[in-house]
């Protein structure tokens, strides 16, 4: 017994050390597993417009539990969707780090790039061209920009892509357009309010995007005067810091976005149905299949971004007083 008593005290510390090592290993494995399977949240912004087709389709699939992005990105990812009326609001959310990526027009994206000295945002993919137009009253005799002297034109938001396009078109027609007045009055107005004001004939025209163009035509008797089918209407933008810290995730997002773009091209009927369901949910209004089909004809889906077109847009914006201090946008487009 004496021999056993002498041996046990020596072995207990060694046994205790092994036990502690085993427990520590279990804890580390548990922490590693938690980190591996911790849910990643990706916050995406978009507008309730047909010119944000990819977002509309993906958002409604998320609602149905069949998420397009959720199935193609990192394991256990959660997508949170945020809806905005127009680009400047979405870019404010990016500056506040409330969202990570957003579908948005080129004007607000370039403006955010300029304000941050080229530091805060990057265009990571194209999305839609066209789907933008100037609609006048059905009985209007307005035909050229020069005819709009003393007239009122509504646009979605001050400084957004359509607002810049409207001002540039009027200026190119010889009218002096200031940010708060001039020979014609440009009135930044949310899209739903545009339709109401147009019906009441409180505005002479609206520079809008789909489905609002088709709604102005079909529900308010409007007619299209300028169909801006060549314009870059929507791009996919990321915060620069998010792109840097989550490059693999953003790369997968862009790949999924490109795949979705091609799927929509080859499945237009199903894509229109999904887009219509999402618009119904966001606008709280039933849009007819015929209206969405009409809107669909005006848009061109693309995952690519033309740097030359972006530079041309900067020149246009400068001509009407926007983006005067914009840096070279060559570094704004970045493929993750």
**Exposed / middle / buried, residue 215 (Cβ in 10 Å: 0-12, 13-18, 19+):** buried
pLDDT of residue 11: 45
pLDDT of residue 18: 52
Model pLDDT for residues 270-304, shown as the tens digit of each residue:
999 999 999 999 988 888 999 999 999 999 999 99
Report the C-alpha gap between 165 and 231 in whole angstroms: 9
Question: Do 125 and 258 contact (CB within 8 A), yes or no?
Answer: yes
- The class level of CATH for 37-130+232-331 reads alpha beta
pLDDT of residue 36: 39
Low-confidence spans in the chain with pLDDT less than 70: 1-39, 179, 326
Nearest to 254 by CA among 61, 48, 72: 72
Beta-bridge mates of residue 155:
188
Q: Phi and psi dihedrals of 198, rounded to 5?
A: -65, -45
CATH architecture of residue range(s) 133-227: 3-Layer(aba) Sandwich (3.40)
What residue spans of 38-121 are helical by DSSP H? Answer: 53-63, 87-95, 106-115
pLDDT of residue 320: 83
Query: Scanning the structure block, which residue is given the tokens 């209206």?
Result: 291
Domain assignments of the chain as residue spans, ordered by start:
37-130+232-331, 133-227
pTM: 0.81
pLDDT of residue 252: 96
Do the first three CATH levels of 37-130+232-331 and 133-227 match, i.e. the same topology? yes
pLDDT of residue 79: 95
Question: Do 310 and 111 contact (CB within 8 A), yes or no?
Answer: no
pLDDT of residue 224: 95
Q: Which helix (H) or strand (E) holds 194?
A: helix 191-199
Question: Do 109 and 121 contact (CB within 8 A), yes or no?
Answer: yes
Does residue 137 sit in helix, strand or coil? coil
Q: Phi and psi dihedrals of 90, rounded to 5?
A: -65, -40
């Amino acid at each position: 017994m004496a021999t056993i008593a002498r041996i046990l005290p020596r072995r207990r510390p060694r046994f205790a050390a092994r036990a502690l090592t085993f427990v520590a290993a279990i804890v580390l494995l548990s922490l590693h597993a938690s980190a591996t399977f911790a849910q990643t949240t990706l916050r995406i912004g978009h507008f309730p417009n047909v010119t944000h087709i990819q977002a509309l389709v993906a958002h409604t699939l998320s609602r149905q539990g069949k998420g397009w992005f959720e199935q193609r990105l990192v394991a256990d990812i959660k997508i949170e969707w945020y809806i905005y009326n127009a680009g400047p609001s979405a870019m404010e959310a990016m500056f506040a780090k409330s969202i990570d990526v957003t579908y948005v027009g080129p004007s607000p994206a370039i403006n955010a790039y300029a304000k941050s000295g080229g530091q805060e945002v990057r265009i990571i993919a194209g999305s839609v061209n066209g789907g933008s137009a100037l609609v006048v009253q059905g009985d209007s005799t307005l035909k050229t920009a020069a005819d709009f002297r003393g007239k009122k034109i509504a646009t979605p938001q001050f400084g957004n892509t359509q607002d810049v396009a409207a001002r540039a078109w009027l200026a190119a027609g010889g009218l002096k357009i200031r940010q708060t007045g001039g020979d014609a009055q440009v009135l930044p107005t949310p899209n739903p309010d545009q339709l109401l004001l147009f019906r009441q004939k409180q505005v002479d025209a609206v520079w809008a995007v789909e489905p609002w163009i088709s709604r102005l035509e079909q529900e308010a008797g409007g007619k299209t005067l300028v169909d801006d089918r060549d314009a870059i209407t929507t791009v996919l933008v990321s915060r620069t810091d998010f792109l840097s810290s989550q490059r693999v995730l953003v790369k997968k997002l862009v790949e999924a976005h490109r795949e979705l773009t091609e799927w929509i091209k080859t499945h237009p009927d199903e894509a229109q149905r999904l887009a219509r369901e999402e618009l119904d949910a966001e606008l709280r209004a039933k849009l007819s299949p015929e209206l969405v089909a009409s809107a669909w004809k005006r848009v061109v889906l693309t995952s690519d971004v033309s740097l030359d077109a972006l530079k041309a847009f900067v020149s246009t914006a400068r001509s009407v007083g926007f983006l005067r201090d914009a840096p070279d946008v060559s570094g704004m487009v970045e493929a993750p």
